[in-house]
Amino acid sequence: MSDQATPNVTFHVGPGGRLEGRLRVPGDKSVSHRSVILGSIAEGTTEVDGFLEGQDALATLAAFRGMGVDIQGPDAGALRIRGAGLHGLEAPAEAIDLGNSGTSMRLLCGLLAGQRFDTVLTGDASLSRRPMRRVTEPLARMGALIETSGSGTAPLNIRGGRPLHGIDYASPVASAQVKSCLLLAGLYADGTTRVTEPATTRDHTERMLAGFGYGVRRQGATVAVQGGGRLSATHVEVPADISSAAFFLVGASIAPGSDLLLEGVGLNPTRTGVIDILQRMGADIEVATVREVGGERVGDLRVRGARLRGIRIPSELVPLAIDEFPALFVAAACAEGETVLEGAEELRVKESDRIQVMADGLIELGVTAEPRPDGMRIVGGPMSGGRVAAHGDHRIAMAFAMATLRADGPIVVDDCANVDTSFPGFDRLAAGVGLDLRVAR
């Protein structure tokens, strides 16, 4: 487990104001991870533009460098990856430390189960609490041997040199990480690996595999790959991350007089739940200049201040907005009436328990928030200033920073260092469009 001390970073945010102007948030984290993973096992040189230079994506990059892959950059978001081919990775000299990145750990778990060498995956204290049996158990059915802690968490000891075989797997959780992990293992397996989801999740892995020339079949809720193929190098353009844009969508929606343009945002249909939910709440969001970039739908989003109303969030939108709920909870706190979320128990096992941590913070700010096992009930109303804890969770920190736009007094958010895992430069970009944000280190 990583033993580096986490720096103490605190957000001090002044109340009120509005968001104006235009900005482009950093590159999509999910696409950035996958561009490095697939580029590293492809044949030829893959070029990536718009790569997210945040700690999570950089952890994936460092992991493949440690396995002998020649990666140049990042230089202003540009990478050149000289692929090693499907069977060309080398044994790392030491355990691979993935910091706070659950995506890195779960996806690499599947990929490394098919290698000829042993690997150990570790992470920081937060990542070492996150559940890994959801990937290690189906991988074991494929023939993998992976040792976890007694509670099913990292470190993960992955034994190489074991033949894998394809399986039909009905996932009990709607998780793109589980699906992607098994598809990556399926590249190394005999036969066909099929994963059936209980609900639609983000499909970046399937899209990018196809972009690298690897056959992917989808029928209804099932996606399948045949082992033994090859990936061919390609060019990947990473769109702006809708999960990062979500904080500005909420901030501009709750602050009267706001008028903000977010440029080049990824609009993959498995990721746009946050837009759908906000529009159902009455948000004024206009989608414009929609185009196709590298197999991903991209567009510009113009958002203006609006009077939001509480809603019961439709269950089919929950997996399409699972990472955006910290921001959406802030929108609910500023809406008229009651907002109810159910069927989102996955939020309990993210970088923090996002249901409890957000409820605790909202209550501290005077908002009526009732945490439930699988969601939350929030009654919108006045919001006071105060001091809240992000618990090292980047999305919690940014959500409470935006909440200050509607607060009666300043809000201090503690334990914000991990914002850099997904959104380097958040403080600068937010201040540039009107948020009164100061960072203390």
pLDDT of residue 106: 98
Domain match, 77 and 222 both = yes
For residue 199, the one-letter residue type is A
Taking residues 72-97, what's their average pLDDT? 98
Domain count, the chain: 2
Domain match, 269 and 156 both = no
List the domain range (segments joined by +) for residue 368: 10-27+239-440
97, 124, 241, 323: which is the annotated catalytic residue? Answer: 323
Domain match, 14 and 43 both = no
Residue 310 has pLDDT above 50, yes or no: yes
Buried b (16+ CB within 10 A) or exposed e, 114-132: bbeeebbbbbbebbbbbbb
* Residue 76 included in any domain: yes
Q: Is residue 234 very low, low, confident or very high in pLDDT (cuts 50, 70, 90)?
A: very high
* Residue 274 included in any domain: yes
DSSP E strands in 83-141: the ranges are 96-97, 119-122
- Tell me which of 170, 204, 237 is where a domain ends: 237
pLDDT of residue 294: 76
Question: How far apart are alpha carbons 151 and 140 in whole angstroms?
Answer: 16
Domain match, 219 and 248 both = no
Domain match, 118 and 263 both = no
SS3 for 316?
helix
Domain match, 15 and 44 both = no
CATH number at residue 148: 3.65.10.10
Angle at 425 (CA atoms; ends 438, 358), nearest 5 degrees: 65
Domain match, 75 and 203 both = yes
Question: How many residues can be counted in the chain?
Answer: 441
Q: Is residue 2 very low, low, confident or very high in pLDDT (cuts 50, 70, 90)?
A: very low
8 A C-beta contact, residue 338 and residue 310 = yes
Domain match, 251 and 371 both = yes
- CB-CB neighbours of 5 under 10 Å: 7
Question: How far apart are alpha carbons 167 and 192 in whole angstroms?
Answer: 7
pLDDT of residue 29: 95
pTM to 2 decimal places = 0.91
* Residue 3 included in any domain: no
Catalytic residue list contains 323: yes
